[in-house]
């Protein structure tokens, strides 16, 4: 019989072995079956598993401890994988479709963030609590998701899903605390079963097509709600804000209505909120449709950080009491309302947190308070544009990065102040005078400067434009936009613009600039320029050949000056050009046939060269806004993502369809045109111009062009405006021009054209006699002169034949009358000397 001590010893030994084994597992950090599963999952995920950082060691000898790999979270106690973050990795295979078996090893998985374009099914993940499938391209929602009834957080955002929600499955997820369906195309009414989601804290439904009324009985039931976003849908009816009165935990509410049929009433019935909001966005709605008053419940709000009540037609005084009541307010957006009266500030209070104020497009009068920088010492963004402010601009504006005072009545000179922090300055359409900028202004960080449509006069100061002083204007390496148009500036085009290496959009039109453009490419930094606009000045000389050094130029506007000489063939080297205006000059010689080589209208990429973004830091820290555990990482409306930037969209004017049109932003990518009108151009119209198949507007009027209209013009398939009037063109109008289906303006008036007008079909059925007037040999509808059979069937005589016929007529008439006179006198003499009967016998 075995001794009891020996038996105990063996038991202790076995226990020690087990402890050693467990310790071994603990030291490795993760279970071997899950480690093998992660390796298999990574092989399925990536084309190059070795080169990918996701599901890889962070270094430091942790290759075997998969709990310390990128994208892996393990339970502290069991060391089992509890979280996988596999979203938004650029190395993922295209159209990756994970099989359910790949997740089989992870039975204790609670959190899964997954990127997939074609997700099949997720089965047996009974412990899953958070599923993030946002930002994919799912064709449909996997039905197995509806069986994950343990889910507390679900995101299907940004997938392009549409149609109705599958209610039979969706309504089973009653344990959800966070639901994000944003940025899809879901339709129909809000599911009534949402009332059963009583644990819901976050409801993000923005950017869908939900319609109907917002149920008034929904929010009183969902007492746990903290975050609600319903923006950019198709809701209708009337939503009473008082239905939220008892949602005491509510911190964020967002509803941007897109000016649809939804009415929002915040006043009836009278109510007092139990919540204290931190973010409140109610924009572009029919807010208090009859009274147009500001929501009165805001009188009881003292924790607000973000207020956006823009585009609501609110009337009354500027509610500066909002700023006084909410001492931690950072973002105030009241643009496009009907607010009146002067802007007044409490000089005894300082608001350190305020970063952003926008009260543009209202009816505010009076002067801008001189101590605004003292009241808001940390203000970065100030937009007071499109109001009725008057008086001078204060000498100190603080540490602003964006300042827009355009479209007001400010007068006087610009103050000498510290512009060092400014990135964006817009003072357009005011009554400002004097120099464009004080001579020693520090503007080295400017990204965009708009001083157009004022009364600035004189030459651009030498100290600013022509001396590279350390803090001078031409030392700004960040300047992207420069608009000095529509002033009274004179002198030559500033030569030191060549120092502005980042300049992309240059507007100097409608000034008094004189003289020629430089003889060398020293005007601007050629590699960056997208728009060069010097129209309506008094510039002279030839268009320089170095114009082709603007390799990225899209818009060239030199019209209404006194440029002379030929159009340089180097213009044809502008491979990215879209709009050319050389009209109203003294240009002579032929039209370069090489123009057919430029790619007008050829959009080569999806980038937008006419838009620019200023880089900046985030204004708001979301962690200060939202206290609870935001598992889905939902952006907070009006906070996360708002940076110090302004949507800078280029804007140019170009005459097309017989009127001056303004093209802005994205539309510039699709607009293309050439205007060579009102010059002294000679010779025939090159038939190669007809190869510009993507051009939208072509104006060759008011020149001395001869010859026929090229038949190749029937290839201008996208053209909308074609003006060939006031030249000396001859021959027939090519009949195939009727195939130009987009042509809305057409004129060949006042030429020497002959023959029949084009058939009255398609677009040509809309052109009246004014399109053809001044051509005496033209016939046919809509002209009064009807065509004869010969005119319809026979080609018009060659110009040389006409000249020969005219010569014959002149020669005949010059000899006919002398011959007739001699014959008449001879007959009289014969009758006088010969008897009548002898004359008859001789005859």
What confidence tens digit (pLDDT) does each residue in 640-672 have?
334 455 567 889 999 888 888 898 888 888 899
Is the confidence at residue 345, as pLDDT, over 90?
A: no
Prior bond of 269 cis (ω within 30°): yes
Q: How far apart are CA 786 and CA 775, in angstroms?
A: 13
Proportion of the chain above pLDDT 70, given as a percent: 77
* CA nearest neighbour of 173 among 156, 150, 157: 150
CA distances from 440 to 132, 470, 475, 482, 488 (A): 54, 10, 12, 18, 21
Task: Share the mean pLDDT of the chain.
Answer: 82
**What would the pLDDT profile of 712-762 be if each residue is shown by its tens digit?**
999 999 999 999 999 999 999 999 999 999 999 999 999 999 999 999 999
The residue ranking higher by pLDDT, 574 or 630, is 574
Encoded tokens for 135 = 């930002």
Q: How confident is the model at residue 95 (pLDDT cuts 50, 70, 90)?
A: very low
pLDDT tens column, 755-789: 999 999 999 999 999 999 999 999 999 999 999 87
- Which residue matches tokens 């010893």? 9
In the predicted model, is pLDDT for residue 16 greater than 60?
no
The answer on pLDDT for 337 being more than 90 is yes
User: Taking CA 281 as the corner, what is the angle to CA 275 and CA 287, rounded to the nearest 5 degrees?
Assistant: 95
d(CA 448, CA 649): 11
> 535 Cβ partners below 8 Å, 6+ apart?
509, 510, 557, 558, 559, 560, 561, 581
Q: Tell me the backbone φ, ψ of residue 254, rounded to 5 degrees.
A: -135, 130
- 475-508: pLDDT as tens digits: 566 788 899 999 998 888 876 666 677 888 999 9
Q: How far apart are CA 252 and CA 245, in angstroms?
A: 14
48 is written with which tokens? 């190059």
Q: How far, in Å, CA of 381 to CA of 613, rounded? A: 15
* Three-state DSSP state, 755: strand
Per residue in 280-296, pLDDT (tens digit) is 999 999 999 889 999 99
Contact 237, 243 (CB under 8 A): no
Smallest CA-to-CA distance from 541 within 518, 508, 571 is with 518
How buried is 100 (Cβ within 10 angstroms: 0-12 exposed, 13-18 middle, 19+ buried)?
A: middle
CA atoms within 13 A on the CB side of 228: 22
The CA distance from 114 to 159, in Å, is 12
- Other CB atoms within a 10 A radius of the CB of residue 275 amount to 20
Q: What is the pLDDT of residues 134-177, one digit of tens each?
A: 877 777 888 888 999 999 999 999 888 999 999 999 999 999 99
Return the bridge partners of 490, or none. 459, 512
On the question of pLDDT at 439 being above 60, the answer is: yes
φ, ψ for residue 832 (rounded to 5)?
Answer: -70, -45
pLDDT of amino acid 322: 94
Residues 6+ apart with CB under 8 A from 444: 420, 471, 475, 476, 477, 478
Lookup: tokens for 765: 């059925």
Residue 661 forms beta bridges with which residues? 654
Phi, psi for residue 597 in degrees, rounded to 5? -80, -15
What's the confidence (pLDDT) of residue 817?
A: 45
Residue for token pair 């590699």:
527
Q: Of 203-217, 454-468, 619-633, where does the model show the most confidence?
A: 203-217
pLDDT per residue as tens digits for the range 677-723: 999 999 999 999 999 999 999 999 999 999 999 999 999 999 999 99
- Name the least confident of 52-61, 185-194, 691-700: 52-61
Q: CA Rg, the chain, in Å?
A: 39
- Over residues 508-545, the pLDDT tens digits come to 999 999 999 877 666 666 678 899 999 999 999 999 98
Query: Alpha carbon of 116 to those of 44, 120, 805: distances in Å?
Result: 12, 9, 81
Per-residue tokens: 610? 């006419």
């Amino acid at each position: 019989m075995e001794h009891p001590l020996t038996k105990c010893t063996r038991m202790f030994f076995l226990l020690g072995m087990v402890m050693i084994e467990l310790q071994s597992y603990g030291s490795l950090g993760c279970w071997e079956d899950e480690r093998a599963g992660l390796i298999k999952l990574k092989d399925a995920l990536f084309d190059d598993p070795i080169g990918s950082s996701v599901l890889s060691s962070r270094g430091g000898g942790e290759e075997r401890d998969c709990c310390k790999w990128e994208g892996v979270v393990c339970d502290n106690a069991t060391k089992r994988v509890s979280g996988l973050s596999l979203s938004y990795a650029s190395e993922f295979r295209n159209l990756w479709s994970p099989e359910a078996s790949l997740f089989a090893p992870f039975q204790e998985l609670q959190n899964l963030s997954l990127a997939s374009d074609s997700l099949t099914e997720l089965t047996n993940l009974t412990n899953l609590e958070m599923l993030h499938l946002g930002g994919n391209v799912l064709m449909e929602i996997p039905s197995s998701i509806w069986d994950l009834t343990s889910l507390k957080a679900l995101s299907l955002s940004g997938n392009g899903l549409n149609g109705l929600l599958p209610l039979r499955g969706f309504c089973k997820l009653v344990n959800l605390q966070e639901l994000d369906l944003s940025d899809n195309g879901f339709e129909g009414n809000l599911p009534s079963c949402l009332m059963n989601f009583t644990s819901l804290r976050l409801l993000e439904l923005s950017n869908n097509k939900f319609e109907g009324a917002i149920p008034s009985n929904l929010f009183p039931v969902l007492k746990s709600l903290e975050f609600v976003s319903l923006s950019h849908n198709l809701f209708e009816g009337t939503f009473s804000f008082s239905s939220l009165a008892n949602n005491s935990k509510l911190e964020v509410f967002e509803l941007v209505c897109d000016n649809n049929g939804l009415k929002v009433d915040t006043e009836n019935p009278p109510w007092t909120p139990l919540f204290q909001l931190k973010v409140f966005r109610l924009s572009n709605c029919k807010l208090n449709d009859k009274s147009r008053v500001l929501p009165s419940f805001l009188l009881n709000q003292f924790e607000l950080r973000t207020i956006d009540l823009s585009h609501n037609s609110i009337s009354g005084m500027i509610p500066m009491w909002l700023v006084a009541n909410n001492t931690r307010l950072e973002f105030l957006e009241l643009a496009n309302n009907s607010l009146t009266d002067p802007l007044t500030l409490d000089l005894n209070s300082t608001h350190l947190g305020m970063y952003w104020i926008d009260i543009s497009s209202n009816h505010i009068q009076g002067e801008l308070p001189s101590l605004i920088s003292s009241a808001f010492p940390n203000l970065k963004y100030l937009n007071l544009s499109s109001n009725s402010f008057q008086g001078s601009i204060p000498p100190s504006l603080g540490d602003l990065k964006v300042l827009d005072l355009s479209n007001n009545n400010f007068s006087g000179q610009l103050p000498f102040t510290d512009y060092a922090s400014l990135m964006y300055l817009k003072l357009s359409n005011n009554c400002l005078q004097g120099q464009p900028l004080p001579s020693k202004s520090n503007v080295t960080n400017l990204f965009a400067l708009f001083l157009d449509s004022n009364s600035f006069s004189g030459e651009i100061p030498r100290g600013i434009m022509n001396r590279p002083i350390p803090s001078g204007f031409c030392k700004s390496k960040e300047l992207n936009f420069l608009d000095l148009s529509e002033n009274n500036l004179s002198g030559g085009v500033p030569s030191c613009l060549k120092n502005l290496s980042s300049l992309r959009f240059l507007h100097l039109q409608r000034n008094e600039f004189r003289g020629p453009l430089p003889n060398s490419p020293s005007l601007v930094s050629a590699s960056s320029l997208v728009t060069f606009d010097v129209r309506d000045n008094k510039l002279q000389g030839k268009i320089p050949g170095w114009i082709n050094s603007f390799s990225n130029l899209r818009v060239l506007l030199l019209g209404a000056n006194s440029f002379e000489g030929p159009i340089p063939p180097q213009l044809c080297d502008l491979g990215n050009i879209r709009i050319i205006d050389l009209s109203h000059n003294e240009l002579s010689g032929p039209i370069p046939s090489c123009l057919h080589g430029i790619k007008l209208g050829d959009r080569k990429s999806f980038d937008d060269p006419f838009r620019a973004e200023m880089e900046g830091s985030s204004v708001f820290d979301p962690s200060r806004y939202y206290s609870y555990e935001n598992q889905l990482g939902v952006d907070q409306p009006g906070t996360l993502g708002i940076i110090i930037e302004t949507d800078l969209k280029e804007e140019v004017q170009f005459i097309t369809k017989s009127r001056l049109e303004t093209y802005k932003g994205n539309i510039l990518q699709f607009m293309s045109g050439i205007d060579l009108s009102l010059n002294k151009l000679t010779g025939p119209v090159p038939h190669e111009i007809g190869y510009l198949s993507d051009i939208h507007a072509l104006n060759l009027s008011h020149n001395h062009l001869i010859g026929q209209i090229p038949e190749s013009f029937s290839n201008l398939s996208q053209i909308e405006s074609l003006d060939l009037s006031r030249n000396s063109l001859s021959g027939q109008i090519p009949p195939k021009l009727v195939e130009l289906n987009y042509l809305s303006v057409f004129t060949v008036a006042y030429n020497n054209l002959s023959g029949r007008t084009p058939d009255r079909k398609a677009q040509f059925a809309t052109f009246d006699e004014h399109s053809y007037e001044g051509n005496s040999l033209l016939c046919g509808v809509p002209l009064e002169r009807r065509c004869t059979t010969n005119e319809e069937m026979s080609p018009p005589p060659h110009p040389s034949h006409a000249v020969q016929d005219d010569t014959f007529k002149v020669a005949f008439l010059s000899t006919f009358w002398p011959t007739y006179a001699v014959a008449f006198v001879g007959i009289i003499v014969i009758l006088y000397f010969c008897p009548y009967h002898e004359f008859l016998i001789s005859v």
